Structure 1
């Protein structure tokens, strides 16, 4: 097997140790954007629409529902705090793709891929328009993104993806003129379809906008059960919590990685942990040493890839590469501190930016991604149209949760729209098998993807088999 640039240009261990010596285990974004407090539910209530989950998916659903019909009574129930999970921990890449990239979309939805691209760009435009209309304070920057090649075979992929318009090929000199790293072989500058946001500021701003429109938000209110058996379709559904029952005409489930209240979705997603580092703010001299004047989002192009971007105060967020699944699909706080992964990430950072030797990481954290077998979101309704869901975003939910919210509202209102007629919306991914098969399959896939990265991108028989049956993944 070959090596990657991260093995060929490994930094001294002392550089990594110094960088991590004062790092605290805490999501930077959440520290940087203190959230408002919302009361727990303390009594029975009723509403037109109940939304379960206080991340992007739930907040967009509540906001859009109220903007569409201000007289509609909307109640949002969050088990802990608004935006505390994936929505407050992600990289802040607001991407237009609804299909987790071009290759995944072309493979799974070839007949409607062009239309999905149009939907995705319109979705990003709508988010930008809403941010401006409502004055959402979320550090929105539509700077585009650069896909980075760190190996020669990846440079060929960049060239194939260029269209000379909004996907511009950058050779070695051109990409290093944008951002200076000795690891960069080439790049693909996507000028239209990517923006950056401050993840936690967006959740705070969306919640405030919801509350101003009259959405009733309840934190620290986990939903323990969904009941429709004793109710007619006209009566709707009941959501049971420890301190009250919510009777709702319609219910939108926006629970992301956490176990679904619908049995049919229990095996549709698995939690995969993603890890992140954040540097202290760069000095002017440090920033000058790497350039990055365009402030684009960056991501390299291996199967196990890194994503990185600048914050408003010129910190570098550096995340990705390891994607860790724990037996049984558990989501637990203790999984968030994984020293070997943070050391690996830090080493890869200094391989990429050796000129930043001496800088420290202020924060490290992790979060669970709701991965499904088709690697992009799926949608549906249940209980005679009383309940809708959108989940399985697989790490690309910052923008696509807005689209998912629109789909859920269409389904709940019984509207036949172009969105609801999409094959992407009408179909479901294959479920994951129960344990121990799930753990064996997921970890074998990860091992195989790593081997492909070390073998010029060439996929082994196992990955080719997954591709053939529609379970393949291409980042």
Structure 2
């Protein structure tokens, strides 16, 4: 979509007049009651810190690997309240924030990474069925759409490149007519449909379902129990909480955007705030006007991109574009609401789907993403291998966090597996510099990305330098 077209004002803000500033997924009467907070002292074999996907998958898989293992999970607020309950619900097979990023960074491992990612998504689908996770799981795939002529050319060239490398299985190139047969927008010029590599889920229901599965397997879950400090204790580790503490043989940290209990890890991530809108349910006539019978997820090809999908009750989620980094990297509740971004997103929505004029938005919200400079997760251990961590999923963690859970458990077991042997697992991204350099560099990168979108995708000297250094900024 041309930036000029997207900036036009057409009273689109009226569509936001009734929008509640809360995540649609969490605004659910079926939201489970939280478990009690931890009081007193606990002991266990494995302590998992964090009640998002990363921690939940780690606790669940730990019990599945060894039903006799004593596992405790602590969550500072409620399970799924942060990124795991606020995202778009795109559960992707990719472990590398997309094939392009993976091919650029790990060309020698890319076939193995793609294989492991596909197996990981299959395992998620199997877990949904095995544990009866009621999360609206739909393996519909995703279409990357081009909205500018240069993007259409790039998509076609990219498709030729991945076909030549044997990486295009299940991916179909769509010209303008073919992509509009799938989803009808006057802005769509081409698309790449990954038919099996992405599933759509209700993200909050997935988190709540994983919590129920953990409890059923005997994991002790404590909510409203933030982990305040981590230190060695005898042969294991101790974590202090407000009303008590936990002594554990091993600890897995799934805190992602929140400050890591291993301080040296903190410089590898920064919080980036992403925002989304949810429409009211569409009528049959409105649905027919846009097609979308196959219910794929969609994302456009600009640097400042949008992602959009249908919910189970026929709403459209529309998010992305702005990626807001707060000076100093602070995570604060007030950043979750940003009306100026909502207004911008509403205008973009009606440019994409002018046939939906008059549709109103019921929810508008934001949340923080743990971004790292290579866009995909990194892993490591601390305290002589008794603590493992995974972080830096950069907005693509719905599926990849399950793989990260497997990696953390492998690392804690001291095992060399096909996962821990990967260069992706053994290496780290470049850390972000301290302020004011981080804010200045990120602001310059954002300006350069917007400029590239406005000038046919041409990357300026700053972006080309960042490319050579393997540095980036994304949500």
Assess if the C-alpha contact under 8 Å between 2:44 and 2:246 holds in 1.
Answer: yes
Structure 1 distance, partners of 2:308, 2:173, is 19
Q: Secondary structure at the match of 1:28?
A: coil
Who is 1:59 aligned against?
56
- Larger mean CA deviation between 93-102 and 32-41 belongs to 32-41
Q: Secondary structure at the match of 1:365?
A: strand
Assess if the C-alpha contact under 8 Å between 1:10 and 1:351 holds in 2.
Answer: no
User: How many angstroms does 1:9 deviate by?
Assistant: 5.8
Who is 1:351 aligned against?
351
Q: Is 1:118 aligned to residue 122 of structure 2? A: no
Q: Is 1:459 aligned to residue 459 of structure 2? A: yes
Listed as ranges, the gaps of 5+ residues in structure 1 are: none
Assess if the C-alpha contact under 8 Å between 1:104 and 1:474 holds in 2.
Answer: no
Alignment root-mean-square deviation, CA: 1.2
Q: Secondary structure at the match of 2:324?
A: strand
Who is 2:20 aligned against?
24
Taking a change above 3 Å as real, the CA distance of residues 458 and 412 of structure 1, as seen in their structure-2 partners, is same
Who is 1:297 aligned against?
297
Q: Secondary structure at the match of 2:120?
A: helix
Who is 1:263 aligned against?
263
Q: Equivalent residues in 2 for 1:125-274 (5 A)?
A: 125-162=122-159, 163=163, 165-228=169-232, 231-232=233-234, 235-274=235-274
Who is 2:80 aligned against?
83
Who is 1:395 aligned against?
395
Who is 1:278 aligned against?
278
Assess if the C-alpha contact under 8 Å between 2:375 and 2:474 holds in 1.
Answer: no
Q: Secondary structure at the match of 2:430?
A: coil
Q: Is 1:71 aligned to residue 68 of structure 2? A: yes
Assess if the C-alpha contact under 8 Å between 1:308 and 1:319 holds in 2.
Answer: yes
Structure 1 runs (4+) deviating above 6 angstroms are none
Q: Equivalent residues in 2 for 1:89-104 (5 A)?
A: 89-104=86-101
> May I ask how many residue pairs the two structures share in their alignment?
467
Structure 1 distance, partners of 2:328, 2:454, is 29
TM-score normalised to the size of structure 2? 0.97
User: How many angstroms does 1:12 deviate by?
Assistant: 4.2
Q: Is 1:43 aligned to residue 47 of structure 2? A: no
Structure 2 distance, partners of 1:455, 1:27, is 34
Taking a change above 3 Å as real, the CA distance of residues 210 and 474 of structure 1, as seen in their structure-2 partners, is closer
Structure 2 distance, partners of 1:264, 1:474, is 22
